[in-house]
């Protein structure tokens, strides 16, 4: 029997199953008061850089690029790196525990979270102006993607939603999305802890 509470589209199911971790992460980001000063904002950028740089191999993966032709351009590691330079912050050392060779299903879940985070970025970019930052200085990784934010997300989810996956791959996508939220939370905590010690 069809469960009426289960959305038909994969992207909506992933949205639903990551609702609670997204709420927790949203609260964790805000608890660090990232818009209070550049010093408060910088560890957030460090976390974004670490997350994006850990996903670089996925964004460059040939099998995934065959599914999402514009995948390589979607990665924001380069922008986050430039943001760190703008903010005068050193390039952080890698943090053990990065995702390693995920299965196709898991990779889709990780990419869903990384791409979805560009939606929240629309709200965050509006608040960086008080810090003298913008999508061309210090907050490049939150900037509007070429072709538009909503359009980019629509293209990504349309492709994601039309892939035919086995039940096992489907479950792996959900596990990958949950792992991605957990990883970002870890990197956020790590980045602010390092900054507090400095």
**Binding-site ranges for ligand HEM (CB under 6 A):** 15, 22, 25-26, 29, 112-113, 116-117, 119-120, 123-124, 184
Q: Which long-range contacts (CB under 8 A, 24 or more apart) does 31-37 make?
A: 32/188, 32/192, 34/124, 35/127, 35/128, 35/130, 35/131, 37/131
Give least dist CB 21 to ligand HEM, A.
9
User: Which residues lie across from 134 on neighbouring strands?
Assistant: 137, 138
Cβ 123 to ligand HEM shortest distance, Å: 3
Of 5 and 62, nearer to ligand HEM (C-beta) is: 5
138: left (phi over 0), alpha (psi -120 to 50) or beta: left
Nearer to ligand HEM, 113 or 173 (CB): 113
The residue among 15 and 103 lying less far from ligand HEM, judged by its C-beta, is: 15
- Minimum CB separation of residue 99 from ligand HEM in Å reads 13
Residue for token pair 């993607």: 145
* CB nearer ligand HEM, residue 62 or residue 84: 84
Question: CA 186, 189, 52 angle in degrees (round to 5)?
Answer: 55
Q: How far is the CB of 173 from ligand HEM (least distance, A)?
A: 12
Q: In a 3-state reduction of DSSP, which class is residue 16? A: helix
């Amino acid at each position: 029997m069809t469960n009426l509470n289960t959305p038909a589209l994969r992207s909506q199911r992933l949205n639903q199953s990551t609702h609670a971790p997204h709420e927790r992460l949203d609260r964790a980001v805000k608890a660090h008061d990232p818009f209070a000063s550049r010093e408060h904002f910088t560890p957030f950028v460090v976390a974004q850089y670490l997350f994006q740089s850990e996903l670089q191999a996925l964004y460059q993966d040939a099998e995934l690029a065959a599914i999402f032709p514009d995948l390589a351009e979607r990665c924001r590691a380069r922008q986050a790196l430039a943001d760190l330079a703008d903010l005068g912050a050193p390039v952080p050392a890698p943090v053990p525990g990065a995702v390693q060779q995920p299965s196709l299903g898991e990779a889709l879940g990780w990419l869903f979270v990384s791409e979805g985070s560009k939606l929240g970025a629309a709200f965050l970019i509006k608040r960086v102006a008080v810090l003298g930052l913008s999508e061309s200085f210090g907050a490049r990784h939150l900037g509007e993607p070429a072709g538009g934010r909503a359009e980019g997300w629509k293209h990504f989810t349309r492709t994601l939603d039309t892939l035919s996956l086995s039940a096992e791959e489907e479950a792996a996508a959900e596990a990958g999305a949950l792992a991605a939220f957990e990883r970002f939370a870890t990197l956020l905590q790590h980045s602010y802890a390092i900054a507090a010690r400095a």
